[in-house]
Structure 1
Amino acid sequence: MDIVIDTHTHSIASGHAFSTIQENALAAKNKGLKLLCITDHAPEMPGAPHYWYFNNQRILPRFLHGVGILRGVEANILNVKGEIDLPSSSDQHLDWVIASFHEPVFKPASEAEHTAALINVIKSGRIDVLGHLGNPNFPFDMEQVLKCAKDNNIAVEVNNTSLSGKSRKGSDARCDRIVEIGNKIGVYFTTGSDAHFCEEISRLHLSVDLLKKHQVNEEKIISTSTSRFLNFLLLRGKLPIKEFENFY
């Protein structure tokens, strides 16, 4: 399985990561990636940048070190209503929006509340992918949420850091179940390193192993080709990115 995009990465702007966007792009080039998503933490995460940082990503070149750059964010799910911590005016500036639970922003609650929050953020139409869903602090009704994700063309991330045990300990078993159920339902998957240092860019081996274990069809893994990924964005209602016309 050939992964050509890392869809979840952080730079020093996130406040607790250690590499610049330039360093991350160079690492992506050296590891053979074609596209790289810049997904720093949104404002409610401690240490994260102001929302102007995300609106101003339009000044980023579409290519750095020969790697295509996707302008994105890892937004925080704020509440049961499924609101995220960026104004709707930011949406036009972003190619790729991850929505995730983070304990400093959304205090772990009941399974019913987590389920409602995920369904509502999916139905908001403002996000493209659910990030690191395996966190055992945020149990949810997997069947219900994954069915909603499929019905609304929202991707499900298989997060390599979650599987490594470095953070969100206990995620591995839950990630396994999410991939198993999601594969049966027919969701779109993506693979994210969740890199907080440039050497972690494209570190996706555990994610790939899990997808292979459950024999997920590559056509459902949008990070396996630039065409799959960019056409998924079109499916999400995004405008074509003219600089990437050779990647469609």
Structure 2
Amino acid sequence: MEIVVDSHTHTIASGHAYSTILENAQASKAKGLKLLCTTDHAPEMPGAPHYWFFNNQRILPRFLHDVGILRGCEANTLNTDGDLDLPPSSYQHLDWIIASFHEPVFAPSTEELHTEALINVIKKGKADVLGHLGNPNFPFDIKAVLECAKEHNVAIEINNTSLTGKSRKGSDSRCAQIVEIGKEVGVYFTTGSDAHFCEEIAHLDLAKALLKKYGVDEEKVISTSTSRFLNFLLLRGKERIEEFAELY
């Protein structure tokens, strides 16, 4: 399984990452990626940039170092109503929205409340993908959430950093359950390095191995081709990106 899109990466703008968008793009080219999603943390995360940072992403060139740039954000799930921490004006400027739980923004609670929050995030229609769901601090009803994600065409991220044991320790077993149930349900998956330094870009081997272990069809892994990824965005109701015409 070849991966040509890294759908979760951070720059120095996130406050606790160490590379620029240019350095990330250069690393992406060196590692053979075709598309790079730049997804810095949304404003409620401590150290994150102001919302103008996201609204102004329209000035980013569509290609940096010959790698297509998808303008994105890792938004924070704020509450059980499924609200995210981006103002309405931001969405029109962004191609790719990850919704994630982060402990400083959403205090870990019960499985029932986590499930309610995730289902409401999906139903509100702002999130294109649910990020690093394996975090053991946020247990949820996996089948219920994944069935809802399938119904609303929201992708499920397999986060490589979660599988390394360096962050969100204990995620590996839950990620395995998510992949196993996700294959059964028929969700779309994507793969993100969650890079906070340019050398981590395209570190996706653990995610690939997990998807392979459970026999997930490549057609259900949208990061395996530019066409799959960009057409998934169309499925989500996003506008066609004309600069990427040859990649559809």
TM category (shorter chain) comes to over 0.9
1:184 aligned residue: 184
Size of the alignment, in residue pairs? 248
For residues 88 and 177 of structure 1, what CA distance do their matches in structure 2 show? Answer: 34
For residues 181 and 130 of structure 2, what CA distance do their matches in structure 1 show? Answer: 15
**Superposition pairs for residues 1-248 of structure 1, below 5 Å?**
1-248=1-248
Q: What displacement does 1:243 show? A: 0.2
**% identity of equivalent residues:** 75
Q: What displacement does 1:36 show? A: 0.1
For residues 19 and 94 of structure 1, what CA distance do their matches in structure 2 show? Answer: 21
| CA shift digits 1:205-236 (9 cap, x unpaired) | 00000000000000000000000000000000
Q: What displacement does 1:137 show? A: 0.1
For residues 19 and 87 of structure 2, what CA distance do their matches in structure 1 show? Answer: 27
The aligned amino acid for 1:142 is I
The aligned amino acid for 2:212 is K
For residues 19 and 91 of structure 1, what CA distance do their matches in structure 2 show? Answer: 24
For residues 16 and 91 of structure 1, what CA distance do their matches in structure 2 show? Answer: 24
Q: What displacement does 1:89 show? A: 1.4
Structure 1 unaligned spans of 5+:
none
Structure 2 unaligned spans of 5+:
none
For residues 161 and 2 of structure 1, what CA distance do their matches in structure 2 show? Answer: 18
For residues 205 and 69 of structure 1, what CA distance do their matches in structure 2 show? Answer: 22
For residues 88 and 81 of structure 1, what CA distance do their matches in structure 2 show? Answer: 16
SS of residue in 1 equivalent to 2:239: coil
For residues 165 and 23 of structure 1, what CA distance do their matches in structure 2 show? Answer: 25
Q: What displacement does 1:88 show? A: 1.4
SS of residue in 1 equivalent to 2:157: strand
State the superposition RMSD in angstroms.
0.3
SS of residue in 1 equivalent to 2:140: coil
Runs of 4+ in 1 over 6 A off after TM superposition: none
SS of residue in 1 equivalent to 2:227: helix
